[in-house]
Amino acid sequence: METWIEAGRVTVNGKVATIGTRVMPADRLQADGRDVRLASTAEPARVLIYHKPEGEIVTREDPQGRETVFTRLPRLRGARWLSIGRLDVSTSGLLIFTTSGALANAMMHPRFEVEREYAARIFGKLSDEQGKLLLTGVTLEDGSAHCASLIDEGGEGSNHWYRLVMTEGRNRIVRRMFESVGFTVSRLIRVRFGPLQLPPRLKRGQIEELQPAEVKQLLGWVERPAGAARKPLRRGGVQQ
């Protein structure tokens, strides 16, 4: 289906669909001008949040035999877990998994600019000029990149922590940005992805599943138009 969408052969309500286009039960979905019926018996979307430890890789199988995040996930019948974004082997923190391809596409597609928030530890401290460069833009081998926000969170000794927000998820983007201004990130933790935050109670290697009401509100969050106010969703009392 993704190949058909990329070829412009799929429409929703008469408009050419793109990867990430939301399709609701009342919408008219067509492929090559023919109506496509959506299965009304489809299982509701499920969402997991996982505290990834360092050392695990985000892939289903690894030729080197390293442990992957997928080995910890609950088994499914008739569906599979999709990772919403990735983290490199040395990065820990929040990973989100879902059974909904539409939700995964909506949260990962670059045009939606969904925020990713990180805590980064470096050896040393950024100068004012280096901080401004990270905010205004640095040049990398695959194009320019910048932080949406950057907060100095202090530190002890030679180690210094920064809290930063990105609106894209290119490979090793945070590490490469700090390297471009002369610093190596010694520890990197993703603490938020879109509206979902890493709960303090969720220890490394642990998994929690969102309740159906929380999944419903998450789906509502991604359906909001660009520019609409978006608040974090809170576990055990979800707010939009």
- Please identify every residue annotated as catalytic: 88
**How many whole angstroms separate alpha carbon 182 and alpha carbon 168?**
22
**How many whole angstroms separate alpha carbon 119 and alpha carbon 132?**
18
Which token pair is 131? 């901080």
Q: Are 97 and 75 in contact (CB under 8 A)?
A: no
96: CB partners within 8 A, 6+ apart: 47, 48, 49, 50, 83, 84, 85, 107, 193, 196
Which token pair is 218? 């998450």
Angle ∠(189,95,184) on CA atoms, nearest 5: 25
Residue 109: what residue type?
Answer: H
- DSSP type of residue 8: T
**How many whole angstroms separate alpha carbon 185 and alpha carbon 123?**
7
Q: What's the gap between Cα 152 and its chain centre?
A: 23
Within a 13 Å sphere around the CA of 11, how many CA atoms are in the beta-carbon half? 10
Residue 66: what residue type?
Answer: R
